[in-house]
Structure formats: structure tokens, C-alpha cells
Amino acid sequence: MEKHSERWYGLDHLRAAAIILVLMYHYRAFKHPQWIDEVGRFGWTGVDLFFVLSGFLISGQLFKEIERKGKFSVKIFYIKRFFRIIPAYFFTLFLYFTFPFFREREALSPLWKFLTFTQNYGLDVINRGTFSHAWSLCIEEQFYLFLPLLLLILAKTRLFKYLPVLLIGVITFSLMVRIVMWNQYIIPVQPDSLDFWRSWYMKIYYPTHTRLDGLGMGVLIGYLMQYSSGFKKIVHHRGNMIFLLGLVLLGISFWICNEQTSETASVFGFTLVALSYGLIVISAVSKSSFLYRSKSYITAKLAALSYAIYLSHKGIIHMVQVTLDKFNIQTADNICLILCLLACIAAAVLYTILIEKPFSGIRSGILKDKEKSTLQAD
């Protein structure tokens, strides 16, 4: 069994790239140097890269279990996901709902929406934009909830071998839903008005059913890498060529998404971006790829900190900039950017030490007990 500790350095590079893209995109909402506007404008695709990575990694683990045992433990899967995601997320919610100074904007969505991971539905980013970036975590949690159940059902039937067809259908479904949403909700609204932006985010950008492209692409790649020897052979012999193809397609995707809220970008853009990043993820796990072979301490650390950075970065950036203003500390915009990024990394390190590592230890203890009880039962 291939262990992630062998470590798929290429995926570390991509996870680091994804969090940098997100940081640059969101930093535009704060006081920023002018060049951030141009550099960060496609940073929203960092979330799509995270979706592809999650789909690939999570499904890959489940496919390996199915291949080895014919099944997997849903209980163990949920225990792993719970201790990886929930403690740091709940701590961030505690900060947002207890300390108004942490909030980058004024109004939060209701707490129950965050607790039930449904905040991405009906999210009015204009009036309730605080901690709005939790929308993508909601989609991932919904994905973690339903994917193992779906695979358990399909693994016991002949339909399992047709899973790639189902996944292509899921991606196509998202695209078709965006067409319907565009025609029904976006066209009637005055372009460039607040209502247009509110509707576009609520109906096109945030809902799970319109954003399944990246996760579907990741699961599709995971399936093919596990069950198609022909696909794996091509991947491992053509890694750099696949990377170049993905890069070219990503450039085309950026060109199409130049106006992010245009009809073409809204309908086809997410699918093209998911396909582009899918190819780049494939290249990152190809043994012939420079991404696979190159090891970097910096990207490995950024990758490890990426979840904590994602959760806390808006609050941290806000606090740093407000503090500088309060004490009338004048800094160049570029210096302020560096200070904010360093603060985000420092906060993520604290998350790791105070939250992630202790709960990881608890998780390991629970899983060992589960393993012992399973062996005794056998």
C-alpha cells in the first residue's frame, strides 16, 4: 500500500499554492498594495484546487480500503475527519462569536448555520460577509458525509465499475444547474448592482450543487489511479507533459474567467478550472514529474499549516491592520502585507500546537482502541 508519507511532495506544492492563491484573493478586501489587485484576481481558484485535492486524497484512501478489504469502516473514517476538521473549526467559531475584534466585518451568519455546515446556502455575502470563507468548508463537510455512504452502497453492486460515468454526470449536473440558475436568477437582475452580486454569490458561487466540479474531478482521478492500470501507466510516464497541458488549460480558463461573473465564466469556468487543476494534480503524483520529485521544506510546512491559515487568516489580517492603525504605526503597504502574512503563519503554528496536535493524539488513541477491539472480535 502506497503511504502518503512517501509523501507525494507534489501535492504539498499544490496545497501550498492553493493557500497562497486564497490569501492573495482575500487580501484585496483589506488595505493592500496595488499589485495585489492583479496578482490576486484569480485567487478564488485556490478553493477549486483544494476541492480537487480533497476529492482525490479522501476518495483515494477509501478506494484503497475497498481494494484491500472489499469494504471500509465508516466509523473510523468519520472519527478521522472529525478530529482533523472540527476542533480547529470550532475554536475559530469561538473566536468569531466571542471576540468582535476578531471579525473582519460586522455581521455573522447565524451560529446554527455554521454548526450544521449549511452556511453556504442562502449566504448573503453583502450583509453577512464575516467568516464567509467557511462556505467551502461546508461543501467539503457535506462531501465527507455523503461520499463514504455512496461508495459503501456502490461497492456492493456492479454499479461500482461505472462510478466514472456517475462522476462525469455529477460534474455535468453542476454545469447544467448553473445554466438554470443564471437564466432564472441572474439575468433578471440589473448588472453590477448589489442585488446582482448578492444573487450571483447565493445562486452560482456558494451552493454545493453548483460547485461539485472540483470534488467530482478529484474523486474521478482517485478512481482511475486505483483501478485503471492503463491510466496509471500514462500518468507515470507523461507527468511533465500532463503538467504543461494542465497549465495551458488553466491559462485558457483564466482567460475565460477574466470577467468572473460573466455568463460563460459562471457556467463553464468552474468546470474548466477543475479540469485544469485535475491535470496538474495528476502530474503531481506522476513519478516522472518534476513536482513529484522535488522536495521543499517551505511548501511542506505551508501545506501542513494550510487548514489553520484558511480558517483564521481574515481575522488575523483584520486585527493586524486595525492594531497598526490604532497605534498610528505607518507602514508601506508591502511591509504591512508581509506583517499580515507572518501573523497568519504564526497563528497557524499556534493552532497546530494548541489544537491540532493534542486532538491528533486523542484521535490516535481512539483509533488504536478501535483496532484492538476489532482484532479481538476477529
Question: Residue 228 pLDDT more than 60?
Answer: yes
Radius of gyration of the chain (CA): 21
Distance CA 135, CA 124 (A): 11
Residue 198, number of CB atoms within 10 A of its CB: 16
Half-sphere CA count of 253, side-chain side, radius 13 A: 25
Q: What is the arithmetic mean of pLDDT over 238-242?
A: 98
Distance CA 58, CA 81 (A): 10
First-to-last CA distance in the chain?
22
Among residues 368, 351, 353, the alpha carbon closest in space to that of 89 is found at 351
Model pLDDT, residue 372: 66
Q: What is the arithmetic mean of pLDDT over 72-91?
A: 96
Q: Is 372 helix (H, G, I), strand (E, B) or coil?
A: helix
Question: Residue 98 pLDDT more than 80?
Answer: yes
Q: Residue 106 — very low, low, confident or very high, per pLDDT cuts 50/70/90?
A: confident
C-alpha cell at 145: 458525509
44 close to 334: Cβ distance less than 8 angstroms:
no
**71 vs 218, residue with greater confidence:** 218
Question: Residue 56 pLDDT more than 80?
Answer: yes
Q: What is the arithmetic mean of pLDDT over 146-168?
A: 95
Extents of the domains making up the chain: 4-370
Q: Residue 132 — very low, low, confident or very high, per pLDDT cuts 50/70/90?
A: very high
Question: Residue 1 pLDDT more than 60?
Answer: no
Per-residue pLDDT tens digits for 319-344 = 999 999 999 999 999 999 999 999 99
Q: What is the arithmetic mean of pLDDT over 357-367?
A: 96
Lowest-confidence range among 40-44, 65-69, 286-290, 353-357? 65-69
Question: Residue 378 pLDDT more than 90?
Answer: no
Model pLDDT, residue 377: 52
Question: Residue 6 pLDDT more than 70?
Answer: no
Mean pLDDT score across all residues of the chain: 95
Model pLDDT, residue 5: 42
Residues 6+ apart with CB under 8 A from 24: 36, 39, 40, 43
Q: Residue 192 — very low, low, confident or very high, per pLDDT cuts 50/70/90?
A: confident
Instruction: Determine phi and psi for 130, rounding to 5 degrees.
Output: -70, 135
321-326 CB contacts, 8 Å cutoff, 24+ apart: 321/30, 321/31, 322/101
Among residues 205, 226, 219, the alpha carbon closest in space to that of 167 is found at 219
Pseudo-torsion of CA 270, 203, 55, 22, nearest 10°? Answer: 70
Model pLDDT, residue 370: 73
Model pLDDT, residue 151: 96
